[in-house]
């Protein structure tokens, strides 16, 4: 059997971060410690920027059909390129936050990640002010897996991409400098639940293969159409298990429980990276699978997808309302946004694809911005414990740091879907797509939950601008300023895409054109 031809140019957005990750591991060994952070940061930014620019250049060229980069196993089309560009943009913004340090030289990561929290080894590493930069190769490996995820053309490639992006995230979650026990606990939860979801996904792939004799999306669709397999119990069970794997990665109910614990336990810059990029990549892959395969059995899966979307919006919104911890509130908000994005997906139309893609990009940018503000405020609060993340600790932020408070307000307004922000355009798009596709119950619940979500966003805004300021707010560290660059960039993009969304919407519409 001849090996399939490989289009190396089409694979470049995937290969660049993966190749850079391998070289970054060597840099970790051979670069002197005093230069290591600067070199690793520059190398990671250069690699991901090159990957995103390569994808953008290809996306600007007209395409009549998808490029089969590895004999149908990897597909490069406008959908793939749009998602890869969105991942690259969010990853670049997150890496800038990852690279930031306090003015005393501390970063967000443990100086001795392998040491037990509170152990003598860790205390010795802290006293010696050791700095490790393993986070950069891990971020590059994760980004490479994310770039592959939406490009997968078969279930095995999809699984490989899933593991490639997940394994580095399990490690990154455990690297927090402060709250070490909480960070280790979050990492263990994430790993165990992720391993379970991956096993269910792989089991589902085997059932789909047993029913159709193929793992390629095109072949599965042909078997469903040609053999009338839409009602095959084995195929339907396989699809159900595959959707469990997807639901875990996007944080959909009932597979959402890991989200608040992991977001809270991970280092704040990693939370920004994970919350934005993982969701973009996972939804990109889910879009391809849904519109390439599930679109031929919509009468079987529609009710299931509707139920998951509605439950995700309701549960995420309801639990976010009762949170007193900022990160957990944003985590449950992220769960609710998963339901909003699913509202566009369940439309099964070109309008649904384009609106979902637009939503993914603007949500990713706003999420990185919001968690960047969280990272900055935790330093300024004078304590890096859980108390720095409560609503009370943010009281008076608008008076003592108006720029941070204003930026956070903009991101919250975008999450709430307030006009003149990119979030409004995104929510309007997915709800309109659902109405057009007769998914009216999902859209109505989405609108109601979006209105309810505005309440807990408003509560934080009120705390920042109208509550009495916390005395210790300015008693802590200040960063070297890199986080402020990301916050400013995210704010500009969020506002610009709210005022002038047409170019990105047109791009998203073109990206939807080649899917079935």
- Within-domain flag for 2: no
pLDDT score recorded for residue 44? 94
pLDDT score recorded for residue 431? 94
- Within-domain flag for 42: yes
- Within-domain flag for 449: yes
pLDDT at residue 22 tops 80 = yes
Taking residues 402-419, report their average pLDDT. 93
Reported as type and span, the H/E element at residue 67 is: strand 67-68
Classify 438 in phi/psi space as left (phi over 0), alpha (psi -120 to 50) or beta: left
pLDDT at residue 487 tops 80 = yes
pLDDT score recorded for residue 423? 92
pLDDT at residue 220 tops 80 = yes
293 prior amide bond cis, ω within 30: no
Model confidence at 262, pLDDT cuts 50, 70, 90, reads very high
pLDDT in tens, 119-156: 777 777 777 667 778 889 999 999 999 999 999 989 99
pLDDT at residue 83 tops 90 = yes
Residue 128 CA to residue 111 CA, distance in Å, equals 9
pLDDT at residue 362 tops 80 = yes
Reported as type and span, the H/E element at residue 75 is: strand 75-76
pLDDT score recorded for residue 171? 93
pLDDT at residue 188 tops 60 = yes
Residue 35 CA to residue 37 CA, distance in Å, equals 6
- Within-domain flag for 390: yes
Range name among 246-260, 342-356, 369-383, 411-425 with the lowest pLDDT average? 369-383
Alpha-carbon torsion, ordered 74, 46, 85, 483, to 10 deg: 140
Taking residues 174-178, report their average pLDDT. 84
pLDDT score recorded for residue 245? 92
- Within-domain flag for 157: yes
Residue 499 CA to residue 503 CA, distance in Å, equals 11
- Within-domain flag for 1: no
- Within-domain flag for 357: yes
Model confidence at 108, pLDDT cuts 50, 70, 90, reads confident
Looking at residue 152, the DSSP 8-state letter turns out to be B
Residues 6 or more apart whose Cβ sits within 8 Å of residue 354? 429, 505, 508, 509, 511, 512
Which two structure tokens, joined as six digits, stand for 465?
Answer: 């601008």
Which two structure tokens, joined as six digits, stand for 48?
Answer: 């991901």
Percentage of the chain exceeding pLDDT 90 = 54
Range name among 19-33, 407-421, 485-499 with the lowest pLDDT average? 19-33
In terms of Cβ atoms closer than 10 Å to its own Cβ (0-12, 13-18, 19+), residue 127 is exposed
- Within-domain flag for 3: no
Residue 6 CA to residue 304 CA, distance in Å, equals 37
From the list 115, 102, 127, 101, the residue with the least C-alpha distance to 36 is 101
pLDDT in tens, 29-52: 888 878 888 899 999 999 999 999
Mean pLDDT of all residues belonging to the chain: 87
Model confidence at 324, pLDDT cuts 50, 70, 90, reads confident
Taking residues 319-331, report their average pLDDT. 92
Residues 6 or more apart whose Cβ sits within 8 Å of residue 175? 108, 109, 110, 113, 134, 135, 183, 267, 270
Looking at residue 388, the DSSP 8-state letter turns out to be G
| Segments forming the whole domain that contains residue 447 | 8-513
pLDDT: which is higher, 385 or 340: 340
Interstrand relation of 75-76 and 67-68 (parallel, antiparallel or unpaired): antiparallel
Dmax (CA) for the chain in angstroms is: 73
Model confidence at 105, pLDDT cuts 50, 70, 90, reads low
Model confidence at 384, pLDDT cuts 50, 70, 90, reads very low
pLDDT score recorded for residue 48? 96
Which of 58-62, 168-172, 296-300 has maximum average pLDDT? 168-172
407 to 327, 461, 494, 501: CA distances (angstroms): 16, 11, 10, 20
* Signed CA dihedral, 230, 232, 236, 241: sign only: negative
Taking residues 377-398, report their average pLDDT. 67
pLDDT score recorded for residue 182? 87
Which residue has 């992006």 as its token pair? 165
Q: How many domains does the chain have?
A: 1
456 and 321 Cβ atoms separated by less than 8 Å: yes
């Amino acid at each position: 059997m001849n090996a399939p031809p490989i289009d190396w140019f089409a694979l470049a957005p995937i290969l660049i971060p993966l190749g850079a990750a391998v070289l970054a591991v060597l840099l970790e060994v051979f670069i002197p410690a005093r230069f290591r952070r600067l070199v690793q940061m520059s190398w990671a930014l250069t690699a991901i920027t090159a990957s995103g620019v390569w994808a953008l250049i290809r996306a600007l060229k007209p395409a009549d059909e998808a490029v089969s980069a590895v004999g149908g196993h990897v597909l490069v089309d406008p959908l793939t390129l749009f998602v890869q560009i969105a991942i690259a943009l969010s990853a670049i913004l997150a890496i800038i936050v990852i690279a930031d340090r306090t003015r005393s030289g501390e970063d967000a990561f443990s100086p001795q990640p392998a040491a037990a929290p509170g152990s003598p080894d860790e205390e010795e590493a802290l006293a010696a002010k050791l700095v490790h930069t393993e986070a950069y190769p891990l971020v590059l490996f994760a980004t490479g897996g994310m770039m592959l995820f939406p490009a997968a053309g078969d279930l095995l490639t999809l699984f490989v991409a899933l593991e490639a992006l997940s394994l580095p995230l399990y490690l990154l979650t455990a690297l927090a400098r402060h709250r070490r026990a909480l960070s280790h606990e979050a990492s263990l939860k994430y790993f165990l639940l992720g391993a379970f979801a991956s096993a269910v996904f792989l089991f589902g792939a085997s059932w789909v293969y047993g029913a159709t004799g193929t793992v390629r999306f095109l072949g599965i669709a042909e078997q469903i159409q040609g053999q009338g397999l839409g009602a095959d119990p084995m195929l339907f069970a396989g699809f159900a298990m595959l959707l469990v794997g997807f639901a875990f990665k996007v944080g959909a109910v009932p597979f959402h429980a890991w989200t608040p614990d992991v977001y809270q336990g991970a280092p704040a810059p990693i939370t920004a990276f994970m919350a934005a990029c993982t969701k973009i990549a996972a939804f990109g892959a889910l879009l391809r699978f849904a519109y390439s395969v599930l679109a031929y059995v919509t009468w079987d899966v529609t009710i299931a997808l509707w139920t998951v979307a509605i439950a995700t919006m309701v549960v995420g919104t309801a639990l976010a309302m009762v949170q007193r911890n900022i990160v957990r509130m944003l985590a449950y908000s992220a769960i609710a946004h998963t339901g909003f994005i699913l509202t566009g997906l369940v439309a099964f139309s070109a309008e649904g694809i384009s609106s979902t893609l637009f939503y993914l990009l603007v949500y990713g940018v706003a999420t990185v911005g919001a968690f960047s503000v969280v990272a900055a405020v935790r330093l300024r609060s004078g304590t890096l414990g859980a108390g720095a993340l409560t609503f009370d600790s943010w009281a008076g932020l608008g008076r003592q740091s108006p720029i941070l408070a204003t930026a956070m307000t903009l991101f919250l307004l975008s999450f709430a879907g307030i006009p003149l922000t990119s979030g409004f355009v995104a929510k309007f798009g997915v709800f309109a797509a659902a109405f057009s596709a007769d998914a009216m119950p999902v859209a109505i619940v989405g609108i109601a939950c979006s209105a309810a979500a505005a309440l807990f966003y408003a509560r934080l805004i009120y705390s920042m601008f109208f509550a009495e300021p916390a005395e210790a707010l300015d008693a802590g560290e200040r960063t070297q300023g890199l986080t402020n660059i990301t916050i400013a960039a995210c704010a500009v993009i969020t506002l610009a895409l709210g005022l002038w969304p047409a170019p990105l919407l047109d791009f998203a519409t073109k990206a939807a054109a080649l899917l079935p």
